[in-house]
């Protein structure tokens, strides 16, 4: 299990795979996050959430778009694919302080394919049968077998640019 931001760092997921994980549980509290950077998520309009029962299509469209599902699809399937594991992503949905969480629970196979997902503005659950035979020859497992650890020493050396997670998220540059 890797919690929320820990999944954003590819090295964390790779280490989990190297330790033998075939299924990664990835609980989150994300989506619809405040940012000055127009290329990442962004806030979900509170009015869409408050009006979700009268107009469920509007909030679901937002949850499927760049502030929710589309953002997650930039990286979640890659974590599963590159490491040859199933990934079970859960996420809060609804009001969280001044942000709206987008839900978008999904189960992804070792090839990065979505087996089940939801973008409903409510307490939905996704369920899927996991076929363990997919693990054996998945691309990620093959890549792990052909690693060259002798080349990776620089990954463990501090560069001097490392910062606290919250400082990076809320810095003046809007990252």
Instruction: Please report whether residue 99 resides in a domain.
Output: yes
| Residue range of the domain that includes 48 | 4-123+132-147
DSSP H or E segment with residue 57: helix 56-64
Q: State the pLDDT at residue 42.
A: 87
Instruction: Please report whether residue 103 resides in a domain.
Output: yes
Q: Are 116 and 128 in contact (CB under 8 A)?
A: yes
Instruction: Please report whether residue 163 resides in a domain.
Output: no
Q: State the pLDDT at residue 131.
A: 98
Q: State the pLDDT at residue 170.
A: 64
How many angstroms separate the CA atoms of 80 and 113, rounded?
Answer: 9
DSSP H or E segment with residue 61: helix 56-64
Q: State the pLDDT at residue 120.
A: 93
Instruction: Please report whether residue 93 resides in a domain.
Output: yes
Q: State the pLDDT at residue 171.
A: 60
Instruction: Please report whether residue 76 resides in a domain.
Output: yes
Contacts of 41 (CB under 8 A, 6+ apart): 30, 31, 32, 33, 35, 66, 67, 71
Task: pLDDT tens for the chain, 175 residues: list them.
Answer: 999 989 988 999 999 999 999 999 999 998 878 778 888 888 999 999 999 999 999 999 999 999 999 999 999 999 999 999 999 999 999 999 989 999 999 999 999 999 999 999 999 999 999 999 999 999 999 999 999 999 999 999 999 999 988 787 766 454 4
Instruction: Please report whether residue 152 resides in a domain.
Output: no
Percent helix, strand and coil across the chain, each to the nearest 5: 35, 15, 50
DSSP string, 102-150: E---EEE-TTS-EEEE---SS---------THHHHT-HHHHHHHT--GG
Query: How many domains does the chain divide into?
Result: 1
Instruction: Please report whether residue 111 resides in a domain.
Output: yes
How many angstroms separate the CA atoms of 63 and 153, rounded?
Answer: 40
Instruction: Please report whether residue 159 resides in a domain.
Output: no
How many angstroms separate the CA atoms of 41 and 38, rounded?
Answer: 8
CATH of the domain at 34: 3.60.110.10
> Does this model's pTM top 0.85?
yes
Q: Are 32 and 42 in contact (CB under 8 A)?
A: yes
């Amino acid at each position: 299990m890797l919690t929320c931001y820990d999944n954003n760092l590819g090295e964390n997921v790779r280490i989990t795979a190297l330790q033998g994980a075939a299924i990664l549980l990835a609980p989150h509290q994300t989506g619809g996050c405040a940012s000055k950077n127009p290329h990442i998520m962004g806030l979900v309009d509170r009015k869409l959430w408050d009006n979700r029962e009268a107009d469920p299509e509007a909030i679901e469209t937002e949850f499927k778009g760049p502030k929710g599902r589309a953002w997650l699809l930039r990286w979640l399937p890659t974590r599963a694919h590159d490491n040859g594991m199933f990934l079970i992503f859960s996420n809060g949905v609804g009001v969280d302080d001044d942000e709206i969480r987008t839900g978008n629970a999904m189960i992804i196979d070792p090839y990065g394919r979505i087996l089940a997902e939801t973008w409903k503005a409510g307490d939905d659950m996704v369920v899927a049968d996991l076929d363990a035979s997919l693990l054996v020859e998945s691309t990620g497992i093959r890549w792990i077998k052909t690693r060259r650890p002798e080349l990776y020493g620089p990954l463990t050396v501090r560069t001097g640019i490392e910062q606290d997670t919250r400082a990076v998220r809320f810095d003046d540059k809007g990252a």
